[in-house]
């Protein structure tokens, strides 16, 4: 049972030029990394209470403070990610530490 409509899957195959299982593996690994990165960015936005660069809606002293490089162990392999930081050090990612190196 697929969670994505066939049209979406076919577009992914076409756009990703997927022809082999290796192509699919690389595509999924890259997609996993991109989605994980966006989840971390969204989580920090929620923690801070405003989107990056949104000075109009900023109603707090909380601020972002760059990124820390981490490696996540996945079923694809180890994937390097950039974990966003807040200036006060209150924000922490919600992954089990065993996944991070």
Q: What angle do CA 22, 35, 98 make, to 5 degrees?
A: 85
SS3 content of the chain, % helix, strand, coil (to 5): 40, 20, 40
| Domain boundary assignment for the chain | 6-99
Could you list the pLDDT tens digit for every one of the 101 residues in the chain? 568 899 999 999 999 999 999 999 999 999 988 988 888 888 878 777 767 766 666 666 666 667 888 888 888 788 898 888 777 776 666 654 444 44
Inter-residue contact 42 to 83 (CB < 8 Å): no
pTM: 0.69
- Token pair 């403070």 is found at 65
């Amino acid at each position: 049972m697929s969670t994505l409509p066939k049209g979406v899957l076919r577009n992914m195959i076409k756009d990703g030029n997927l022809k082999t299982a290796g192509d699919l593996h690389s595509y999924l690994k890259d997609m996993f990394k991109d989605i994980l990165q966006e989840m971390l960015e969204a989580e920090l936005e929620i923690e801070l209470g405003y989107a990056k660069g949104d000075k109009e809606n900023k109603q707090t002293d909380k601020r972002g403070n760059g990124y820390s490089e981490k490696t996540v162990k996945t079923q694809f392999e180890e994937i390097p990610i950039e974990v966003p930081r807040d200036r006060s050090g209150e924000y922490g990612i919600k992954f089990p530490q065993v996944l991070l190196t």
